[in-house]
Amino acid sequence: MKFEFDPETRRALGYKLIDHINDYFSSLPDRPVQPPAEERSFRKLTETMPDFESDAATVLDDICHELIERGFHVPAANYFGLMNPAPTYMAVLAEALVATLNPQLASVARSPLASRIETETVRWIGNRVGWAVPFSGTFTSGGNEANFSALALALGWKFPGVVEQGVATIGGAPVFYASSEAHHSIDKSAGLLGIGRQALRRIAANDLAQLDPGQLESQIQLDLAAGCRPFCVVATAGTTNSGTIDDIVALAGICRRYDLWLHVDGAYGIATIFSDRHRHLVKGIELADSLTIDPHKWLSMPFAAGIVLTSHPELLEPTFAIVTPYMPRAPQTEVVDYYKIGAQWTRRMNSLKLWLTLRVHGRLAYEELIEKQLQLAGLLRDWVVGSESFELAAPQVLPVVNFCVKAPGLREAELAAANAGVVEAVTRDGQRWLSLTHVRGKSVIRAMIISYLTEKRHLDGLLRALERAGREVALPAAR
């Protein structure tokens, strides 16, 4: 059979790949994030599908060379980027094992051990949330699917007819709430759930970039008076742009008063529950009806790994389960058939990488990581505060720092152009990466400490590059 190799060739190819991976890991502390701007051209995708075989070792060498030498390196220590981490080495090994064993997590009958490990991992995380009530949940492909699943739960909780009979049974326009800074996967989910993206009421963020509880309550009252059917509030723990954490306790109080589901999108920030010292940042998390947490953000997992958890486990099957004649049955145990409690059917084992990382390094490794990254972000924030060229654009809570060119009197478009000029100057040589975004409608430069490989010396390099860009771009713009 064509796909088979003899044992010697398998070993040789495997070792070849491991050598590439090993060299790559060694290079990450000093590797540029991408080639310099003038070298960022790629071959045209014009090759036709190969009909015939090629030498495996050569193909493997060539693709490793191309991806590593010409690619964009999210795991690099100088990636001050979006919420994408350097993967732990144990997670990389776990991924190879999962691909090899290919356990089918849809049903326990075909993954009796793998499903147990997944259930255990979900339990470890739920226990750190601190729920006093039973909880359950499942791994997902990421935060988008986790938020979608949580909103499906919220909708079915408030309007029990929707799963079988659809949204027409609601008898009024369903509406729900999130801050103007919440992630756009929430809008996407509303469209896909059939309630329409306009069902999402985005409440203006306050000066702290948090969902404003007063404005939220006013909007709920307006909606109720207009005959709408509010069902959920989405709090964010770690907004994408600024790492802001909404006041979960205040929002939980409003949810209880108006009988609304509280979902906390903590795709990034809920990782602070891994730290005894910093878990207070997500105070009130245990008041949530559902949570999103993405191990492929702060927990240093390779894509894909999201988790949705709920303190209403009894709603999972009514929302997601379906009966088929062909799925094998296993005796009822504490482990569930995952196709019955999640949006996916065939299920990849996304939990082993986190389980293995925790087994090898322990929770305290994350506690240390969180501490280190918060300290580095504090240094960056302090540097901005003392800088001639830049000023802070939002409070720093998690290891995300928003700042902008200090130029009183610039119009928004001019400020955006000056910020873009700084980012272009800092990223042009490919050594490091940071990005632009908007917070509360205003252009900001966004720098995040996300790779566990990032040390003080990398931050110092970034600060030197920013200082240069400040002299070349920011100060002239301010004049």
| Residue ranges that bind ligand PLP, judged by CB under 6 A | 83, 142-144, 147, 183, 185, 236, 238, 240, 265, 267-268, 294, 306
- Token pair for residue 149? 């699943």
- Token pair for residue 348? 């990849």
Specify the residue, 184 or 471, whose C-beta has the smaller distance to ligand PLP.
Answer: 184
Nearest approach, Cβ of residue 306 and ligand PLP (Å): 5
Strand ranges inside 174-239, DSSP E? 174-179, 200-203, 229-236
- Token pair for residue 318? 């009514």
- Token pair for residue 226? 């207009």
Specify the residue, 236 or 344, whose C-beta has the smaller distance to ligand PLP.
Answer: 236
Strand partners, 203: 179
Nearest approach, Cβ of residue 239 and ligand PLP (Å): 6
Specify the residue, 223 or 265, whose C-beta has the smaller distance to ligand PLP.
Answer: 265
- Token pair for residue 288? 């949530």
Nearest approach, Cβ of residue 165 and ligand PLP (Å): 29
Runs of H (alpha helix) within 401-450: 412-427
Q: How many CB atoms lie within 10 A of CB 222?
A: 12
C-alpha span between 361 and 386 (Å, rounded): 37
Q: How far apart are the first and last CA of the chain?
A: 71
Residue 357, class by beta-carbon neighbours within 10 Å (0-12 exposed, 13-18 middle, 19+ buried)?
buried
Nearest approach, Cβ of residue 39 and ligand PLP (Å): 28
Specify the residue, 271 or 469, whose C-beta has the smaller distance to ligand PLP.
Answer: 271
Specify the residue, 152 or 425, whose C-beta has the smaller distance to ligand PLP.
Answer: 152
For 98-111, letters b (16+ CB in 10 Å) and e give beeeebbbbbbebb
- For helices 412-427 and 456-469, give the axis angle rounded to 10 degrees: 130
Specify the residue, 149 or 357, whose C-beta has the smaller distance to ligand PLP.
Answer: 149
Nearest approach, Cβ of residue 467 and ligand PLP (Å): 29
- Residue 342, CA distances (Å) to 108, 126, 266, 310, 461 in order: 14, 17, 18, 12, 44
Query: What residues have CB less than 8 Å from 477, skipping those under 6 apart?
Result: 405, 407, 410, 414, 417, 418, 421
Nearest approach, Cβ of residue 282 and ligand PLP (Å): 13
Nearest approach, Cβ of residue 143 and ligand PLP (Å): 2
Specify the residue, 271 or 393, whose C-beta has the smaller distance to ligand PLP.
Answer: 271
Query: What residues have CB less than 8 Å from 23, skipping those under 6 apart?
Result: none
Nearest approach, Cβ of residue 447 and ligand PLP (Å): 16
Specify the residue, 170 or 293, whose C-beta has the smaller distance to ligand PLP.
Answer: 293
Are 343 and 163 in contact by the 8 Å Cβ rule? The answer is no
Query: What residues have CB less than 8 Å from 321, skipping those under 6 apart?
Result: 339, 340, 341
- Residue 287, CA distances (Å) to 153, 200, 470 in order: 16, 22, 44
Specify the residue, 107 or 147, whose C-beta has the smaller distance to ligand PLP.
Answer: 147
Nearest approach, Cβ of residue 146 and ligand PLP (Å): 7
Which DSSP symbol is given to 208?
T
Specify the residue, 230 or 306, whose C-beta has the smaller distance to ligand PLP.
Answer: 306
Nearest approach, Cβ of residue 182 and ligand PLP (Å): 7
Specify the residue, 255 or 267, whose C-beta has the smaller distance to ligand PLP.
Answer: 267
Residue 346, class by beta-carbon neighbours within 10 Å (0-12 exposed, 13-18 middle, 19+ buried)?
exposed
Nearest approach, Cβ of residue 238 and ligand PLP (Å): 6
